[in-house]
Chain A
Amino acid sequence: MNREKSFIKKLSTYLVFAGPATFAFITVIILPFLFGIYLTFTDWNGISSTHSFIGFKNYLSVFQDKTFFNSFLLTIKYVFFTVILTNIVAFLLAFILTSGVKGQNLFRSGFFTPNLIGGVLLGYIWQFIFSNVLVYIGNNFNLPIFSSSWLSNPDKAFWAMVIVGVWQYSGYMMIIYISGLMNVPKDIIEAASIDGAGGFRRLINVTLPMMVPSFTVCIFLSLQRTFMVYDVNLALTKGGPFKSTELISMTVYNKAFLSQDYGVGQAQAFFLFLIVATITLVQVYFSKKMEVEA
């Protein structure tokens, strides 16, 4: 009796506070997602009016697909470098910016500008820079590293994507780090410097532990974004040369819409979701643990 009452009370509290958000969230994301999973068990091509149930066949072909596997490994490599570099750059920028440099606003706005434009166009702009501007500079100033286009060499094209990724995301992460750094209480830092802690020690012993929540958010976000990157990949390299820079989203997209194999594409997307979910959850779990300890 009591239990029921408390349940109803809880339910109504929940509905009042979290009801609208939860409802919108479930109807916009979760339902379509589950429906999508259902489609992975069919042979639907994305358009015909009929489809039939084919069980796990789509998943089997995911595991047999060498292209998918290669693209997955490449994506892991891309994510690894981009996430680490993005967060290092973003944190350094935020740290220097909040340490009392003049013209803070200007710098902050400047570093953030890449986020003002959609990914496809950013990709086109950089494609132009890598294959025209840098080559021009390389040839005229005798810099052999730029004398041929980075985008025509598989290794260099990979690094071109990492550079654009870092350039694009670091400003965004910087904003979150700045907001975190501003939240570190001034008196604690002052107390630490009165105790005689130098700048570097203050950073390591006082500031960084207080920043763990920001790191959690930023690493999570950069993981998620880099795993899912599609538009920049498309506009910058189109997966080329010869598919050597085709990241996983593009592989999935091509499977579904180019090879017109919607079921397999959706199965790949779901498989990808499982992997990324595991990786990010492990990350969030460990960061949260650090948070508690700090």
Chain B
Amino acid sequence: MKGFKRLSLIMAFVLMIGVLAGCGSKNTASTSEQELASGNKQSDSSSASDTNKVIEITMLNSKGEIQAQLEEAAKAFTEENPNIKLDIVVAEAGQSPFEKISVMYAAGNAPALAMLDPVDIPNLADKFLDLSNEKWIADAANNSLDNVTLDGKVMAFPFAVEGAGFIYNKAILDQAGVDPTAIKTTKDLEDAFNKVKAAGFEALAISPMDWSLAGHFLPISYATQSSNFADVNKFLNNLKAGSVDLKANKPFNGLMDTFDMMKQYNMYKNDPLAATYESNQQAMGSGEVGFWFMGNWTWPQIYEFAQVNEGFGFMPVPISNNPDDYGNTGIPVGVTKYIGIDKVNNSEEQQAAAKQFLEWLVYSEKGQDMIVNKANIIPAFNNITLEPQDPLAKSIKEYMASGKTIQFMTTMPADHWAEVGASMQKYLSDMIDRNTLIEEIETYWKNAK
């Protein structure tokens, strides 16, 4: 009796493992299966594929704040192309876009278009369509395709250019007698802070979010290592190899000196980590504070409080007291979101429809209007001549036009902002000194993938 039961148990277990192994092998050989599956889909649609047949595609949106605008764009696109229906799926708050896309691929249900961070694109190189022969390649802005060109193939579409720096409130600076264009050194900046304070305003807001401190602020010290992009990449590789001595690094220490000075003028000085993104937006938009380190993506929220479409602009973060040093006159600007087209789970018709949508965004009047005017995105294309409506985007355009930009670091390891962000938060709240900070940053890079 007992023996038999044991036997049956073992058999059940063996059976389960058999099923499991089946699943395992299915997964490793999934490409061929999925091709089969998508082949089926294809034949489904091609059987009735007269011009009437509606092709349905989805797009993954990882910029939640423009979901409504993208849905509107999708509708407008369908009006002009009635045979294509585009559905926008958003990566929810708290879900990384990479997780969302992983799950969708695991389910064999990847979206035709996926908007992702630059660092995610290489991981998807075997799943994305080669876009090198698209029409828009010729009109793409300088350097905008560098991060997504793998083995000479362009794997993704540059969707949004963004920039960061000190956002200033023009009205406050005028009242305090400060000219933002004349600020070129750390010392100038401190003088400006003092003048703003003397005029009765808060000088500066520092957002304590890890993604701001280590995703945007600290990387300025990487980008200002050299005006040559290749040298900056070399610097990052040296960090990984452990051969950089940050203690003796001039741009790094220059930036941190500026940061130390900034900490003294922070309106949340008593409790620097308590500030929230929302309270920063309110302080900036309602005219309580003169400067705030942030990017142009926050404009819609500033506007909600300010209610005027002017009076704000960007200013560089100075990293030394020599006005001629590289970086003192430029703000970080770069492509922060790319769109790739899936070729594994989507039929050729769907891929073609996806390409058509990208082309529509760049070349149709409606598409351009959607990007620039409705979604407040700065496009990475030279042929789009629409002027951005909001003052922050305008300011970035001016920096781009005069060539005063530095690299927006987007190809750091995907967890850099979170891991180094924690160290920067500790430094911001004076929990650790600069030596410990340097130690933690160097350790992070040595262990980074």
> Hey, which bits of chain A sit against chain B, CB under 8 A?
3-4, 6-7, 26, 30-31, 34-35, 38, 45-51, 120, 131-132, 135, 148-149, 151-153, 231, 234-235, 240-243, 254, 256-262
Contacts and interface: CB of A to CB of B under 8 A. Distances in A.
Contacts of B96: 257-258
Contact of B20 (A35, A243, A262): A35
Contact of B418 (A131, A256, A258): A258
B274 A46 contact: no
B426 to A, nearest CB: 5
B4 A242 contact: no
A149 B274 contact: yes
A243 B415 CA distance: 13
Given A35-B20, A152-B271, A242-B425, A259 B102 contact: no
A45 B123 contact: yes
A260 B98 contact: yes
B20 A49 contact: no
Contact of B449 (A3, A30, A132, A261): A261
Nearest to A243: B422
B425 A48 contact: no
B171 interface: no
B270 interface: yes
B94 interface: yes
Interface in B385-435: 413-415, 418, 421-423, 425-426, 429, 431
Contacts of A261: 449
Contact of A49 (B31, B98, B414): B31
Contacts of A258: 96, 98, 414-415, 418
Nearest to B431: A242
* Size bracket of the B interface: 35 or more
16 contacts: A26-B16, A30-B16, A46-B106, A49-B344, A50-B28, A51-B28, A135-B274, A148-B274, A149-B271, A151-B273, A152-B273, A242-B421, A243-B422, A254-B418, A257-B102, A260-B123
Given A235-B94, A258-B414, A47 B16 contact: no
Q: Which 9 A-B pairs have the closest CB atoms?
A: A152-B273, A149-B274, A257-B99, A152-B274, A242-B422, A242-B425, A46-B102, A148-B271, A243-B422
Contact of A259 (B106, B274, B279, B449): B449
Interface in B321-363: 344
A26 B15 CA distance: 12
Contacts of A3: 1, 4
Contacts of A7: 4-5, 8
B270 A148 contact: yes
Contacts of A45: 123
A6 B94 CA distance: 54
Contacts of A254: 415, 418
Nearest to B413: A259
Contacts of B126: 48-49
A256 B106 CA distance: 14
Contact of A35 (B23, B31, B101, B272): B23
B126 to A, nearest CB: 6
B105 interface: yes
B24 interface: yes
Given A30-B16, A47-B105, A38 B24 contact: yes
B241 interface: no
Contacts of B414: 258-260
Interface in B432-449: 449
A73 to B, nearest CB: 17
- Tell me the dominant secondary structure on chain B's binding face: helix
Contacts of B106: 46-47
B49 interface: no
Interface in B254-311: 270-274, 276, 279
Contacts of A34: 16-17, 20
Nearest to B30: A49
A256 B4 CA distance: 42
A161 to B, nearest CB: 16
Contacts of A131: 274, 276
Contacts of A151: 273-274
Nearest to A262: B102
A46 B421 CA distance: 24
Contact of A31 (B23, B102, B413, B426): B23
Nearest to B29: A49
Nearest to B414: A260
Given A35-B24, A152-B274, A120 B94 contact: yes
B187 interface: no
Contacts of B28: 50-51
B19 interface: yes
A234 B449 contact: no
B210 interface: yes
Contacts of B418: 243, 254, 258
Contacts of A241: 208, 273, 425-426, 429
B127 A49 contact: yes
B117 to A, nearest CB: 11
Given A131-B276, A148-B270, A259-B449, A234 B94 contact: yes
Nearest to B120: A260
Given A6-B1, A34-B16, A152-B272, 12 more contacts: A31-B19, A35-B20, A47-B105, A47-B123, A48-B126, A153-B273, A231-B94, A240-B425, A241-B429, A242-B429, A259-B449, A260-B449
A30, A148, A240 — most chain B CB neighbours (10 Å):
A240
B93 interface: yes
Nearest to B98: A257
Contacts of B431: 242
A263 to B, nearest CB: 12
Nearest to A37: B20
Contacts of A132: 276, 279
